[in-house]
Amino acid sequence: MKQPQAFNRRDFYADVWEVVRLVPHGRVTTYGAIARYLGAAGSSRMVGYALHEAATHDDIPAHRVVNRLGMLSGQHHFPQDHPMDERLMQEGVAVQDARVVAFNTLFWDPATELG
């Protein structure tokens, strides 16, 4: 699934969701890491856009994707009754001031973890 392909929106979004599904329980990754893995480095904003649509899918752990500083920049896109930080805390990821505390050790990079 590591195909540096053109921007066929729909396919790109599907690839993003696929990668997000591979993020292990209790770990987190970043928009940029996903973009690089898909051969679209520099288009990290599109990853965020794809996730915006995925927020409604219960089978996609969108809460495991944060920005490069480990901050929960997308928390306002989650339902209030089950916010992003709550979902992370639920799987043992400590969050403080809208930021993943142990981000450096919990960071999961598809490029190095998957090859």
Partner DNA sequence: CCAGTGACGGCTA
Partner DNA sequence: TTAGCCGCCACTG
Q: Which of 51-59, 88-96, 98-106, 107-115 is the region at the interface with DNA (rule: CB under 7 A)? A: 51-59
- β-pairing, 95-96 vs 99-100, is antiparallel
Alpha-carbon 75 to chain mean position: 12
Total residues in contact with DNA, by rule CB under 7 A: 30
Contact set for DNA, span 77-106 (CB under 7 A): 77-78, 84
> How far is it, in rounded angstroms, from Cα 30 to Cα 38?
13
Cα Rg, the chain, nearest whole Å: 13
The answer to whether residue 21 forms part of the interface with DNA (CB under 7 A) is no
Binding site residues, DNA, CB under 7 A: 7, 9, 30-33, 35, 42-49, 51-52, 54-55, 62-63, 65, 67-69, 73-74, 77-78, 84
